[in-house]
Amino acid sequence: MKSSVLQRDIFSKIESFLGTNNILVLHGARQVGKTHIMYYIEDYLQKKGETTHYIDLEDSRYVEILDGGVESFLDYLKGEGLGNKKLTVLIDEIQYLENPSSFLKLIADHNSEIQLIVSGSSSFNIKSKFSDSLVGRTVNFEVYPLSFTEFLRFKETKTSMTDRLTNLYKEYIAYGGYPKIVLDDDISHKETYLQQIIDTYIKKDISDLANIKNTKKFNDLLKILASSSGQLINIQELSSICGIASQTITNYLEILEETYILRLVSPFSTSAKVEVAKTPKVFFYDTGILQMLWLKKLQKEPVGNVLETSIFSELVKKFGVENINYWRNKNLNEVDFILKTKEGILPIEVKYNFTQFKKAKINSFLEKYKVKDFYVVALLGKKLKPYHKFPWEI
């Protein structure tokens, strides 16, 4: 299996930290490819002649060894013929340890010959077990479903033809970017795999994390949120519809964010208070998961705000979620995304076809913030203006 692992874009960020004294931590939802990234790193290091050792903590035998403390772990390495060697140890699913913070800190502080690279299936799980003692010792990387560039790499497709790329992007947003789904051409298989992720991870694992008592109400909330991706959400309204207390919904949303299912996007403003106070939009990270939660089956053509959701996901993977907002004024003029970059702010409008764009609505933002450049991202139509961009060009 390791020989078939393809490089993910995030490796270019990870590479410069290999061989340093930092603990590297991969965060992300289940099935997004964290294990395969670790396989890729292991293979990369071995080809350079470096010594590595991989441990999967889903095997309870290894949990017992590592929970036994540093000496137990070092004794295990000696038994594997790795004692007193400079090596990289890759530990998958670190959250299974009873006290990972203490273990990682002691290794980092007293065993400089060992670099640790660890993964966890949610920042919620990791944050609940990681303490402040690890501050300054870890470098964190967030792993998401495949970007469109990675999608093309996994499909082994190289093309610059617009029509071909358009059809591939339709496939990408129709089925999402989970690697296993991308690599299987059978749609019924894709639906089965996605439903398994929903049943075993979103509905079960997250329910356990949140200590959810009424799973039906939680599942109803998930369906409503999926149908609302790309839209403003009102906590009080959700509370009334689902019969769940407002504070409980707020708690559920926080956990869904921490487990990389969705993200609340705040409005853009030069006032930090306004960004916090105003109504957020909700976006799912994966369009395949979104459609299975909402419609119970995958759609061949984009429905609802699935195109806008896919553009959100692409922006997150390229620029980071903390750099994305939306904008709306009292006259209901709205800009889909405001992207913060080193060069300034870039308004982005998303349309299915370039012909649907009306510049009048974005003018309010351009005038208010003295911004000249903006993008209109669309899947169909001819690029007649410099600001016209296809999704793969952002």
pLDDT of residue 304: 81
Look at strands 334-341 and 324-328 and give their pairing.
antiparallel
List, for residues 197-248, the tens digit of each pLDDT value: 998 888 777 777 777 878 889 999 999 999 999 999 999 999 999 999 999 9
Q: What whole-number distance in Å separates Cα of residue 216 and Cα of residue 63?
A: 33
Looking at the chain, the whole-number percentage of residues with pLDDT higher than 90 is 75
pLDDT, greater one: 238 or 300: 238
CATH topology of domain 2-142: Rossmann fold (3.40.50)
pLDDT of residue 130: 66
Specify the 3-state DSSP secondary structure of 185. coil
pLDDT of residue 1: 40
Residue-range domain boundaries for the chain: 2-142, 148-393
pLDDT exceeds 70 at position 24: yes
Q: What whole-number distance in Å separates Cα of residue 151 and Cα of residue 313?
A: 13
pLDDT of residue 380: 95
Judge whether 39 and 5 are in contact, CB under 8 Å: yes
pLDDT exceeds 60 at position 274: no
Q: What whole-number distance in Å separates Cα of residue 33 and Cα of residue 37?
A: 6
**CA dihedral angle for residue 265, residue 378, residue 334, residue 288, rounded to 10 degrees:** -30
